[in-house]
Amino acid sequence: MIQNFSRNLEVMDGFETNHLRLLYYDLPDQFTDTYKSYEYVRLCTILDGEKQVKINDGSEFTYTKDQFVLLPSHSHVDMHMNSNTKALVLEMNNKLVESVAEQVSLDFDTDLTNSSFYDNMFLGSNQGALKFDIDKIVATYMSEDKNKSFLIDLTAQKLVYELLKMKGTHHILHGEKNHPIAIAIAYIRENLNKPITVKELSWLVNMSESNFSRQFKNVTGFSPNEYVRNFKLNRAEEMLKTKNVTEVCYELGYENVSYFIRLFKQRYGKTPKQYAMMSSIKVD
């Protein structure tokens, strides 16, 4: 579990699928900190304990394991723990929300003209179908199933469906899909099989490289190159369960196997082959 809200720790210790990033926190009694949500909506839940929070300089409130908080991207949170608290956060990417919204028929107002990108949040009840889906995601994550990323993403679609049915959540879930950084992130995720440069990304969203890089880091917590590297290495960790090192290297757009191995070892402290062998995964 993550002990504080460092973005580097979140990326290192979180579990990422195509649609979600799962983050577990184990926070001590009287822990106080501030953090921000980055490029994606966050579903914040309590496993044990409670959180006292103030979101975007709004009113202070406390929520427990019977509730959840839905945060839009780019939110700022001040928090305090009155006791040892264990929490689960699900970061849901825009593509997941858009895909579900396009496939289902729901009666909700999608006009975002009067909503703010920064000052929203939603406090809801973590019960019924929603709690079932969250518990199922956690149970799948804790399992040894080699297809758990795929299975988690299936449940994630149902989870978003349940959230969309709740009045007052749609404007948070839809976010700003046309924001230039959101466009760049979608491009990164859809083009993992080739090298991706800052020049290419900045040109895509019609921004200078310096301005794009600055805004990208403000939104995600990482430079564009760091984000691409982290995302590819997260994917490599999963792909090594079914593919050999060379296959993973080339499928992630790396042209040099030695360079890929060096990056992987810097991140995980072992080579891809060592990682696969220690995880009892067959490597050809």
Domain ranges (residues) in the chain: 7-174, 180-278
The pTM of the full predicted model, rounded to 2 decimals, is 0.68
| Vertex 87: Cα angle to 83 and 88 (nearest 5) | 175
Q: Give the count of beta carbons closer than 10 Å to the beta carbon of residue 39.
A: 22
The pLDDT profile of the chain, 284 residues, written as one tens digit per residue, is: 555 666 666 766 778 898 998 988 888 898 898 888 887 889 999 999 999 998 887 778 899 999 999 988 888 888 999 899 999 999 998 888 888 888 876 654 433 333 333 346 888 889 899 999 999 999 999 998 889 999 999 999 999 999 988 877 876 777 666 678 878 888 888 888 888 999 999 999 889 999 999 888 887 778 999 989 988 988 888 888 888 999 999 999 998 999 999 999 998 888 998 888 876 544 44
Structure tokens, 81: 């723990």
7-174: CATH homologous superfamily? Regulatory protein AraC (2.60.120.280)
**What does the pLDDT look like over 3-23, one tens digit per residue?**
566 666 676 677 889 899 898
Largest CA distance in the chain: 56
E strand or H helix at 224: helix 224-239
180-278: CATH homologous superfamily? Homeodomain-like (1.10.10.60)
> What CA–CA distance (Å, rounded) separates 64 from 121?
16
**What does the pLDDT look like over 10-65, one tens digit per residue?**
766 778 898 998 988 888 898 898 888 887 889 999 999 999 998 887 778 899 99
Structure tokens, 62: 């406390």
> What CA–CA distance (Å, rounded) separates 222 from 179?
17
